[in-house]
Chain A
Amino acid sequence: MLSQVESHLRSDRFPHIWCPGCGNGIVLAALVRAIEELGYDPDKTVVVSGIGCSSRAAGYLDFNTLHTTHGRALAFATGIKLARPELEVFVLMGDGDATAIGGNHFIHAARRNIDLTAIIFNNSIYGMTGGQYSPLTPPGKRATTAPYGNIERSFDIAELAKGAGATYVARATTYHATMLEKLIVAGARNKGFSVIEAITACPVGYGRRNKMGNGLQMLLWQKEHAVTVKQAEKMSPEELRDKIVIGELYKGEAPEYTAMYQQVIERAQKTTGQ
């Protein structure tokens, strides 16, 4: 198992930059196993990331990797995918990256239903800059910029993605790494915009300040608070209040952007007689 992951890593890049107990490596490993399972040709596989602790994952992967600017990964990836639809494109983003500075690109990539697989490392905080609140920090939680508790409501990434037009939406936690891997596989197989939210621990920037313990304790917290879609069906909204629903949350049908553009090319060439 380990060697299978290793073969897709740039081993000369280790040790990685992440703190002890950080969940980012678990998401990275799930992604690699998923790509292995998908059987994608590494030469045709592209991983694009934004800026943040989580976005550093791209640099450790032995694919075509692009570490972009904060919030813009999906826009770079859109250019790659539209230019070369035959490439398999994964996009790694932090919660702040994807939904604050990159929120606009996120909803528009979903609206276009462009065939990208987006993986959002949701650690409920701006990790890289030292623990400021993000649009995914739950109300009441503490961050360096919310020393008296966060007063902003947080996004529900899955609802946001679905509402904006994504055709595959799923969520898992780093405790449920095997499920995460399966969801990434299914998301990648969806011909359209897929979003997989990975709940992950940032013990240094978030856990410590909110008395959630170390990385291991935060993993156990994920275990205790996660309920599957099936379990959730039988639960009341009151029971679900502090729970994280994991699994496949939405699957939809919509035309995929690059396929639609191929039709534009055919129409244009017919019109102009090329």
Chain B
Amino acid sequence: MMSDVVEMARLMQGNEAVVEGALAAGVRFYAGYPITPSTEIAELMAERLPALGGKFIQMEDEIASMAAVIGASLAGVKALTATSGPGFSLKQENIGFAAMAEIPCVIVNVQRWGPSTGIPTAPAQGDVMQARWGTHGDHPVIVLCPASVREAYLLAIRAVNLSEKYRVPVILLMDEVIGHMRERVVLPRAKEVEVIERKKPSVEPKDYYPYRPGDDGVPPMASFGEGYRYHVTGLVHDEKGNPTTDPQVAESLLLRLHRKIYDHLDDVVSVEGYQLEDAEVTVVAYGAAARSAKRAVKEARAAGIKAGLLRPVTIWPFPEKEVAELAGRVRHIIVAEMNLGQLKGEVERAVRGRVGVSGVNRVNGELITFEEILSAIREVALDAQSG
């Protein structure tokens, strides 16, 4: 995977790290519409892309941005767009198109307080479910959630790689804290970065079935202009790409779209565990909230409480196996998130009542604090003592 060879240590903002990561992964096309707190990504792309021979365009809205990104990707250029809540909502129909037509692309959503215009500059994690279910229909999607500036860089690369490998839209779900935070980071050298390219057809154009999958469930993808003339549509289509309403074709297409992701959970899903070995109370947290959670766990340990942290790095597909496995050995799970419990429901589903699950939630536009998580950990520990 990634080498630790140091290129340079520098002070970097989360949004900037996303740009550098995307460029390292080969992104050469950006289309977007400005929105706080993601705008720095557009501004930096406007500066960096043409210098690399890439293309930047500020479209008339987020719907158009998403469309342009899909068009560019179909023309063979790795493409990314970035936005925040309201813009993310606008992109949804075309994200569904990308899922259906299997066009690789990356969507960065730097979450802000919502619904609606909410507090544009305030952090929140309210788009967890929108990232999963924002577009209509049972579509596959991958959502990654960084908790540091360095990880924003690494996950931007991974997002591009996964989207190319599985021909699926990948969402890099950030939050205002990670997007705007500055940290000193040490990044791997560009040439040490593993870059995955989409699978290309190896057959003659006349034998090409654009939607006939390989063993991995993913069909090889020809770019427009390469001599493979084929049809791309958001309608249910057969292996030739031609529209059909045949129920059998529809079902097998939808199931394959799912299988190509869910058959590769080992590759797609990752979590970080911290002090989990002997943990009795475990916090599940992601993104900015995971930083406060980690500190809370440290403090709890210092106070003699066996606390641990499970941090989903991939939040969709939800790390069900990893969370279910916790249920067998911890006494209680606390889900700390900056929403009213969007991922907590998934945790409960995974543990099936085998352990208690409670939430620490903050929805006032401020970062969740380590103190509130720590006091939740203490409460659980006290209950355990008295019970």
Binding site for B on A (CB under 8 A): 10, 13, 42-44, 46, 48, 58-59, 62-69, 72, 75-84, 86-87, 104-105, 108, 261, 264-265, 267-269, 271-272, 274
Contacts and interface: CB of A to CB of B under 8 A. Distances in A.
Given A63-B229, A265-B53, 20 more contacts: A13-B242, A43-B229, A44-B225, A59-B233, A64-B230, A66-B224, A66-B233, A69-B234, A76-B67, A76-B70, A79-B68, A79-B69, A80-B71, A80-B75, A81-B71, A82-B57, A83-B79, A108-B60, A269-B51, A274-B51
B60 A105 contact: yes
Contacts of A271: 51
B234 A87 contact: no
B235 A67 contact: yes
Contacts of B230: 64-65
Contacts of A66: 71, 74, 224, 231-233
5 contacts: A63-B229, A65-B231, A68-B97, A105-B67, A265-B50
A58 B50 contact: no
Nearest to A273: B51
B120 interface: no
A266 to B, nearest CB: 8
B224 A79 contact: no
A10 to B, nearest CB: 8
B363 interface: no
A62 B205 CA distance: 12
A83 B64 contact: no
Q: How large is the interface on B (under 10, 10 to 19, 20 to 34, 35 or more residues)?
A: 35 or more
Given A83-B77, A274-B52, A78 B68 contact: yes
B278 to A, nearest CB: 52
A239 B329 CA distance: 87
A83 B242 contact: no
A42 B224 CA distance: 11
Given A72-B94, A79-B68, A265-B50, A87 B75 contact: yes
A68 B57 CA distance: 20
B59 interface: yes
B225 A87 contact: yes
Contact of A84 (B69, B225, B233, B243): B225
Contacts of A274: 51-52
B366 interface: no
B93 interface: yes
A62 B68 contact: no
Interface in B50-109: 50-53, 55, 57, 59-61, 63-65, 67-77, 79, 93-94, 97
Contacts of A59: 231, 233, 242-243
A105 B68 CA distance: 11
B60 A79 contact: no
The 7 closest A-B pairs by CB, nearest first: A79-B71, A79-B68, A75-B67, A268-B50, A75-B64, A83-B72, A67-B233
Contacts of B97: 68-69
B64 A268 contact: no
Nearest to A45: B229
A65 B101 CA distance: 12
A84 B229 CA distance: 16
A269 B47 CA distance: 10
B131 to A, nearest CB: 20
B266 interface: no
Contact of B234 (A68, A78, A79, A267): A68
B60 to A, nearest CB: 4
B214 interface: no
Given A59-B243, A72-B63, A72-B94, A80 B72 contact: yes
B67 A69 contact: yes
Contact of A46 (B51, B69, B224, B227): B224
Contacts of A63: 229
A226 B60 CA distance: 35
Contacts of B64: 72, 75, 78, 104-105, 108
A82 B225 CA distance: 13
Contacts of A48: 71
B211 interface: no
A84 B76 contact: yes
Nearest to A8: B229
A43 B225 contact: yes
A84 B79 CA distance: 13
- Most B Cβ at <10 Å: residue of A82, A83, A264: A83
Contacts of A72: 63-64, 67, 94
Given A76-B71, A80-B224, A261 B55 contact: yes
B211 to A, nearest CB: 14
Contacts of B79: 79, 83
B226 interface: yes
B242 A79 contact: no
Nearest to A266: B50
Given A82-B55, A108-B60, A268-B50, A58 B67 contact: no
Given A43-B225, A72-B64, A87-B75, A78 B57 contact: yes
Contact of B68 (A13, A75, A265): A75
B166 interface: no
B233 to A, nearest CB: 4
B76 to A, nearest CB: 7
Nearest to A105: B64
